């Protein structure tokens, strides 16, 4: 990843993508100086699970790991109903091999499992048997946690995974990975948005 691209995060978009799963992530990245660009299979509009129409900023074949700080993959019905979204899993492999991080939530974790990207990494998802159904070889690395970050090895990019009910924990892992907040503010951010701890707001607002 080049320093000039450090502020660009790419969000994969496709029909039925679960728009609520990355709302915290993209909103707070944008508020903290990052640019979020959407990536589709093509530049044709897609419709989210929530019924929103999204015009991708670029097509998948235009995306390069060197131009990105992070690739985010959300859940969608297509991860479990065919191979339409397989190109995104292959792109995730290219990112990780290039040393650029990837964050996957919900059904996207199954897509990565089918691609073999979870075989040798600590990871989580909705439930362990959901990933086991893919036939992947990484069951021994499954972690019962809200969200998991695996730092990779040998120059590989870090990988964040989470289940569909954990958009706040998913965002926390992304922020920690990218250094958006220091440890104290990251803890406060999570307590505010996950636990509704009003006392955390003052910490976030402090210099």
Active site residues: 106
Could you give the residue ranges of the DSSP H alpha helices within the chain?
23-31, 86-97, 107-114, 128-132, 167-178, 183-195, 199-205
Q: SS3 breakdown of the chain: % helix, strand, coil, rounded to 5?
A: 40, 15, 40
What letter would DSSP give residue 123? B
DSSP assignment of 124-147 equals: --S-HHHHHTTT-S-GGGB--SSE
Contact call for residues 164 and 21 (beta carbons, < 8 A): yes
Residue 138: both structure tokens together: 């990484």
Enumerate the β-bridge partners of residue 73: 104
Residue 158: both structure tokens together: 């870090």
152-191 core/surface letters (b: 16 or more CB in 10 A; e: else) = beeebbbbbbbbbebbbbbbbbbbbbbebbeeebbebbbb
Contact call for residues 29 and 174 (beta carbons, < 8 A): yes
């Amino acid at each position: 990843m080049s320093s000039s691209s450090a502020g660009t995060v790419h969000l994969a978009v496709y029909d039925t993508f679960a728009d609520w799963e990355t709302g915290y992530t993209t909103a707070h990245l944008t508020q903290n100086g990052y640019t979020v660009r959407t990536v589709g299979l093509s530049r044709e509009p897609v419709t989210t699970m929530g019924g929103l129409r999204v015009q991708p900023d670029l097509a998948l074949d235009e995306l390069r790991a060197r131009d990105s700080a992070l690739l985010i993959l959300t859940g969608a019905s297509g991860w479990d109903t065919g191979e339409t979204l397989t190109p995104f899993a292959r792109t995730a492999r290219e990112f990780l091999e290039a040393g650029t991080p990837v964050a996957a939530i919900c059904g996207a974790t199954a897509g990565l499992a089918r691609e073999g990207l979870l075989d040798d990494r600590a990871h989580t998802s909705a439930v362990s048997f959901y990933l086991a159904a893919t036939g992947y070889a990484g069951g021994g690395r499954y972690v019962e946690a809200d969200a998991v970050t695996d730092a990779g090895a040998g120059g590989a990019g870090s990988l964040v995974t989470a289940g569909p009910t954990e958009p706040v924990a998913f965002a926390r892992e992304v922020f920690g990975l990218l250094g958006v907040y220091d440890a104290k503010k990251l803890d406060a951010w999570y307590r505010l948005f996950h636990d509704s701890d009003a006392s955390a707001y003052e910490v976030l607002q402090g210099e």
